[in-house]
Structure 1
Amino acid sequence: MHFTFSSFIIAIISFGILMLLISKYAFGPLMGVMEQRRKLVLDQLQSAEQDRKQADALLAEQKAALEQVRSEAKAIIEQARVTSGKQAEDIIRQAKEEAARIKEEALRDIETEKNLAVAALRSQVSAMSVMIASKIIEKQIDEKSQEQLVEHYLKEVGGNQ
């Protein structure tokens, strides 16, 4: 191959012109697109970092709210436990008071009935004694007959009960 100086110079000038044209029309817009892409990626990274920080803040806020709800639920359960215990004690106390009242009424009723029975028995015994005395006086009988008569009336009193 043959080398000529003029073609070498023309090649260098052509290469220089080509480089100027390429840098102006190809590399310039390409570098602009690359710069836009770089800015877009940086913006997306910053946006992602902000979103992550917001998500972390929301997560911490939700954890705090959940912990607060748990503590409130525990307080409500404890309050319900205390209230139910007090109610149970009140119910037991009222039941004991009612049982004591019923027992006292029953004892009073028993005492009243006992007194009525004793009074009725005394009345019957008095009536029988008067009747026996009148019969003895009427008959004017001997001691053996009197004992038989008393036993007879005592059997009657015993049979009427």
Structure 2
Amino acid sequence: MEIVFSNTIITIIAFVLLYLALNKWAFGPLFGVMEKRRQLILEQMNTADSSRKQAEASMAEQKAALEQARKEAHQILEQARVTSSKQAEDIVESAKSEANRLKGDALKDIESEKNKAIAALRSEVGGISVQIASKIIEKQVDEKSQEQLVDKYLKEVGSK
């Protein structure tokens, strides 16, 4: 096998020309498209990373808001319990004071009616005593008949 230098030089020149032509019309646009694709992928990765960070921040905010809502709900429930307990105590206290007031009014009414009854009884006893005295004076009876007469009128008073 013989090496022909002229064929080798022509092959090298053809290879260089082919390389330059491919570089200008094929590799240039191909590398441009690949560079654009690389830039697009980097942008998408950066966008995805920032979206992930925003999602994490949003998730943290939502968790904080949810925890705050739970705390507020617990406080509202606790406040409702305290308020209802206080209202129940107030109602019971009000009922007790109303019952005591009614009891006091009833006792006053009873005392008033009792005093009226005693006054009426006294006036009636006074009237009966006067009647007894007038009858005794009219009859001028002895001591035994006088006792019977007093007993009779006391029985009449007792039956009224």
Letter in 2 for 1:60: A
User: Unmatched 5+ residue regions in structure 2?
Assistant: none
1:112 aligns with 2:112: yes
- Aligned equivalents of 2:131, 2:146: Cα separation in 1: 13
Residue aligned with 2:36, SS: helix
1:39 maps to: 39
Alignment-mate amino acid for residue 59 of structure 2: L
Structure 1 residue 84: deviation in Å?
A: 2.8
Counterpart check, 1:123 vs 2:123: yes
Note if 1:30 corresponds to 2:30: yes
SS in structure 2 at match of 1:141: coil
Give the TM-score normalised by the residue count of structure 2.
0.84
What aligned pairs does 1:68-147 form with structure 2 within 5 A after superposition? 68-147=68-147
Distance 1:109 1:143 in 2: 44
The equivalent of 2:65 in structure 1 is: 65
Q: Deviations over 1:99-151 (max 9, x none)?
A: 21221111111111111111111111121121112111111223443333223
Residue correspondences, number: 159
CA RMSD of aligned residues (A): 2.4
| Structure 1 counterpart SS, 2:141 | coil
CA distance in 2, matches of 1:137, 1:65: 105
For residues 100 and 8 of structure 1, the distance between their equivalents in structure 2, rounded to whole angstroms, comes to 129
Amino acid at match of 1:24: K
- SS of the residue aligned with 2:72? helix
Instruction: Give, in angstroms, the shift of residue 17 of structure 1.
Output: 2.6
Alpha-carbon distance in 1 for matches of 2:48, 2:113: 95
Aligned equivalent of 1:152: 152
AA in 1 matched with 2:47:
S
Q: Which moved more, 1:112-121 or 1:149-158?
A: 149-158
The more displaced of 121-130 and 85-94 is 85-94
Provide the rounded CA distance (Å) in 1 between the counterparts of 2:11 and 2:89: 111
